[in-house]
Structure formats: structure tokens, C-alpha cells
Amino acid sequence: MMNSIQRDKFTLSKNNRDKYNEFCLFVNSSNIDTEDKNKLKDEILDHLIEGEKHGKTFDDLFSENPREYSQQLIEMLPKATFKTKVSFFLNVIFISIIINIPILFFSDSASEFLFTLVTFPLLAGVLSLFCFRIFKGTVFKNSFKYIIAIILVIQLISIVYVYFKNAII
């Protein structure tokens, strides 16, 4: 079931919806508390819906440089706590471990299982943090080169993972 924010977002024009989605990506990849992120996105959506009723676009309401405007809004909010950051990283690791549990049944050795159970989650956590940085850099820009960078980094991490797995096991 679609929540009210999702439903409201689809009442926007395509251009405003696209700019709002980019704004949300920028906010989500920022170093602020999740509750503050959600409040900020809700507030901007409300302003955008109201402005659109009066014929305004995202750029009319939030400046010609939405990236700079978004950064100014984020700088006014408190940073995410260390506990929040650690919690996110631990969640990524936990999910990665759960994904790898079937390896227990198919691994040939205990060393292969332990290597995968330790290395894969750590790489997934590092990759997640790297992707947030890349996503934030791509917002409000033509970002084809960033997409290529993400693909190359994922490939590089995969190659390193397979190399070490084969070298150790």
C-alpha cells in the first residue's frame, strides 16, 4: 500500500517529481539523522505541492542551484550520531551475513565458509558507504560518469574478493 508521501509525490509534474527525487537522494545520502531526513523531505514536498498549485516549479521555489540550496538545508540540521552510523553499518553487515548463510550448506571447507562470512559483509559495508558518497556527488548533475565509476568499483571489489578467496582457500 502506498503511503501519503508517495501518493502526494505522484501528483507533481514530471519535472518537479524528478527534481524532488534527486533532492531525496541527496538528503538520504547526507550525514543527518533519519528522522530529520524524513521531516525535511516531507516539508519540501509540501512546499512543492503548494507551489505547483500556483504554477511554480522546483527551481522557482528552491533556487536555480538546487544542489547548493539542498546543501544549505542539510547544514542547518544536526549530524547523525556515531551510534546511528554504527547501527547502519552493522545492519549492512547483518544482512550480508544472512545472505551468506546458504554457503554453510555448499561450502567445501570451514575456512571457505569463515572467509565468506567475514569478508563479504565487510566489503558490502564499505561498498555501501562508497555508494552513498558517489550518489551524493551525482545528484542534480548529468551523472553518467559516476554510474561508470560505481560499476568499476563494484567490479574491482568483486575481483579482489575472488582473488583473496582463491588465494586463502
Rounded to the nearest 10°, the torsion over CA 119, 124, 31, 136 is 140
Q: In total, how many domains does the chain have?
A: 2
Mean pLDDT by 10 residues, the chain (169 residues): 55 85 84 87 90 88 82 87 82 80 73 78 78 72 70 80 76
Q: Considering only CA atoms, which of 161, 165, 159 is closest in space to residue 108?
A: 165
What residues contact residue 42 under an 8 Å CB cut-off, 6+ apart? 5
| Residue 143 pLDDT | 64
Which of 33, 57, 75 is the C-terminal boundary of a domain? 75
| Residue 153 pLDDT | 77
Which of 49, 75, 101 is the C-terminal boundary of a domain? 75
Cα 35 to Cα 11, 40, 51, 79, distances in angstroms: 24, 9, 24, 11
| Residue 62 pLDDT | 81
Rounded to the nearest 10°, the torsion over CA 152, 147, 97, 107 is -40
Domain that holds residue 18: 4-75
* 51/104 same-domain check: no
pLDDT per residue over 101-125, tens digit each? 777 677 777 777 777 777 878 888 7
* 10/31 same-domain check: yes
| Residue 1 pLDDT | 39
Domain with 45 in it: what CATH number? 1.10.1900
> Do residues 104 and 76 make contact, with C-beta atoms less than 8 angstroms apart?
no
* 57/122 same-domain check: no
* 65/124 same-domain check: no
> Do residues 29 and 136 make contact, with C-beta atoms less than 8 angstroms apart?
yes
* 53/111 same-domain check: no
Distance, in Å, from the CA atom of 162 to the CA atom of 107, rounded to the nearest integer, reads 15
* 97/159 same-domain check: yes
* 86/11 same-domain check: no
* 91/151 same-domain check: yes
Say whether pTM exceeds 0.85: no
* 35/63 same-domain check: yes
| Residue 2 pLDDT | 46
* 153/99 same-domain check: yes
